[in-house]
Amino acid sequence: MESDVLPPRKRIALVAHDNRKDELLEWVRENSEKLAGHELYGTGTTGWLLQQELGLEVNKFQSGPLGGDQQLGARISERGIDVMVFFWDPLEAQPHDPDVKALLRIAVLWNIPVASNRSTADFLFTSPYMAGEYERLLTDFENYRKRLDWRLSDQAKHLLQDRKAE
């Protein structure tokens, strides 16, 4: 099994659906000291609100429905996000529900801590791991990446044979 070490200064994504933005803003306001030593990221509107209302420096992606969830998922898969606080709305369908599901799947796949409500965020941010290093275990995806090598090899052989026949 592979691993990497999350540094004491974490890269934290802060995301909220429209009906949960006020709740996230309140939680961030209450935890601003804990967040101060970390690098913050957010999808468009949430990031903008955090900057405007709380004066935080937030690296912003596009708004979720405009591709921000996909940008965030890509950053997670590149090991560029360490923790995600995502207050998603369980009572209202979103036009980008497939993107939301994909984002949550990527977060699980790359084993990053995810808080989807205040209680989980409180537990996560009071953990001693938030202020120190943490060795995160990662699944070794090498076999998955190589699953079609035999096909590629067979195709390459056929191409070579076809070229020789010409």
For the chain, the residue count is: 166
Q: How many CA atoms lie within 13 A of 23 on its CB side?
A: 17
Catalytic site residue from 4, 18, 22, 69: 69
Question: Is residue 22 annotated as a catalytic residue, yes or no?
Answer: no
> Which secondary structure element, helix H or strand E, spans residue 34, and what is its range?
helix 32-35
Residue 87 contacts residue 16 (beta carbons within 8 Å): yes
Q: CB burial class (10 A; 0-12, 13-18, 19+) of residue 14?
A: buried
- List active site positions: 69
